[in-house]
Homo-oligomer: A and B are copies of this chain.
Amino acid sequence: MSFTPIQPLGRAEAAEAVLDAKRNKNLTWEDIAAEVGRSKVWTTAALLGQHPLSEDQARAAGKLLGLDQVVVDALRLPPVRGEAVVDPSEPIVARLEEIVQVYGGTISELIREEFGDGIMSAIDFRMDFERVHAEEGDRVVITLDGKYLPYREF
């Protein structure tokens, strides 16, 4: 090709590079999140390509992980959020899908009763992830926290 590619890396390739660097430097997502100045969940999602990083956030992550500049630049590209980025048949995701399947109607019912005709936002949204110790085996506790948005009459 006769033209010079200016931005050779996409978000997927940048995520690969981040995972390799994290493995080699033996860092945790907590470590990276501390550097980026955001929560562990947001930081992981962002570095995996689901959120754009600001210039400062990308630079901080790049410095800690020792990323090349092209990777740092790629972290600031628009995210790729479609369904291709997750496999609904992967066992962990499959169980999240099953939970939506079993409790989706229940959540609709309870939002309708408690709030009215509207939804839980997936945009004005935050998620928390915690390990909770329990005698009969530790538990994964995930909190979904989204703003209630009422349908507007017009």
Contact = CB atoms under 8 A, between A and B. Distances in A.
Interface of A: 1-9, 17, 20-21, 23-24, 28-29, 38-42, 44-45, 48, 50-52, 67-68, 70-71, 78-79, 81-115, 117-127, 129, 131-132, 134, 136-154
Q: Which 7 A-B pairs have the closest CB atoms?
A: A3-B68, A82-B87, A83-B89, A86-B104, A120-B140, A126-B154, A6-B20
Nearest to A146: B140
Contacts of A95: 119-122, 146
This protein's copies in its complex: 10
A24 B39 contact: no
A104 B108 contact: no
Dominant SS among interface residues on chain A: mixed
Interface centre among A17, A94, A127, A137, by most B CB within 10 Å?
A: A94
Contacts of A45: 102-103, 105-106
Contacts of A152: 123-126
6 contacts: A3-B17, A83-B101, A91-B119, A92-B119, A96-B122, A126-B152
A19 to B, nearest CB: 8
A6 B21 contact: yes
